[in-house]
Structure formats: C-alpha cells, structure tokens
Amino acid sequence: MKKVLIMCTGNSCRSIIGEALVNAKLEGVEAKSAGVAPSGKVNPNAKKVLEANGIWKDEYYSKHLNDVIDEDFDLVVTVCDNAKETCPIFPKPTPKIHVGFEDPDGKEYAEFEKTYKEIEEELLPKIEEFFKSN
C-alpha cells in the first residue's frame, strides 16, 4: 500500500477532498491530509460534495502537519501555493509534487463541485503516474 499526504493551508477543503478521492478511487493508495495552518474544521460544503458523491467518511478532519509528520509517506502532494512554499523538510526524504487548485472556501457550493471534479481529473492521474514511474 502506497501512502500519500495531501497538504494545503487550512486542511478544510482541497486537501480533504483530495484525501477522500484518493482513498475512494485509487487502488493500492492510502491518503491522509494535513494543513500548515489548519482551520480545525472541515468546510461544510466540502463535506457536502463528498457526501453527494458517496465518499465522505467521519474519520476525515482538519489536522496540523505536525500530527502526521512522523508517518512514512511515499509522496507528498501540495494543492495550494502557500503549502508548496511552506512545505517543511520531512524527517525522511519524501518526493513532493505540486498540483494547485483554486480555494473554494467562502464560495457557492457549485465551486466545491468544480474543485471536486478538477481534483479528480487532474490530481488522481498525476498520483497514478508518479507511482507507475517510481
């Protein structure tokens, strides 16, 4: 089982959606998510879009990078520019990729649906491609 950490700033929208999509749709890959400055809550519209697609799990929550930094990940993915710029050095060398998405926080539900679709169509193939070539 390959382990992926998906990071953004607040760990309330994009990284949570990414975590859920990877766990639901990529066989042999387990994802967790974290934020460099977590909001401490999952955005209600992020939860709603995951529920609407049947992939919400109650174990998803907003957490700080420090909560998972000692875990062994095969790949770290940043999904916002701020997380990319502030991504720390991990205790063990871990490959990193960046696939940025616009933050839907504070916007209408339709923006969360758009973000979900973009993450599914852009991020998942990049993660699959990374593991095929490594």
42-53 burial: b if 16+ Cβ within 10 Å, else e: bbebbbebbeeb
pLDDT at residue 120 in the model: 98
CATH number at residue 89: 3.40.50.2300
Residues spanned by the domain of 88: 2-133
pLDDT tens figures, 35-57: 988 999 999 999 999 999 999 99
Counting the structural domains of the chain, the total is 1
**How far is 40 from 107, CA to CA, in rounded Å?**
19
Instruction: Confirm whether 13 is a catalytic residue.
Output: no
Catalytic residue among 17, 42, 65, 87: 87
Predicted pLDDT of residue 101: 94
Q: Which of 4, 5, 7, 8 is catalytic?
A: 8
Instruction: Give me the pLDDT at residue 97, please.
Output: 92
State pLDDT tens for residues 45-98: 999 999 999 999 999 999 999 999 889 999 999 898 765 666 666 667 889 999
Q: Convert 36-69 into a string of H (helix), E (strand) and C (coil).
A: CCCCCCCCHHHHHHHHHCCCCCCCCCCCEHHHCC
Q: Considering 80, 83, 123, 127, which one is annotated as catalytic?
A: 80
Tell me which residue of 13, 14, 46 sits closest to 123, measured CA to CA.
14
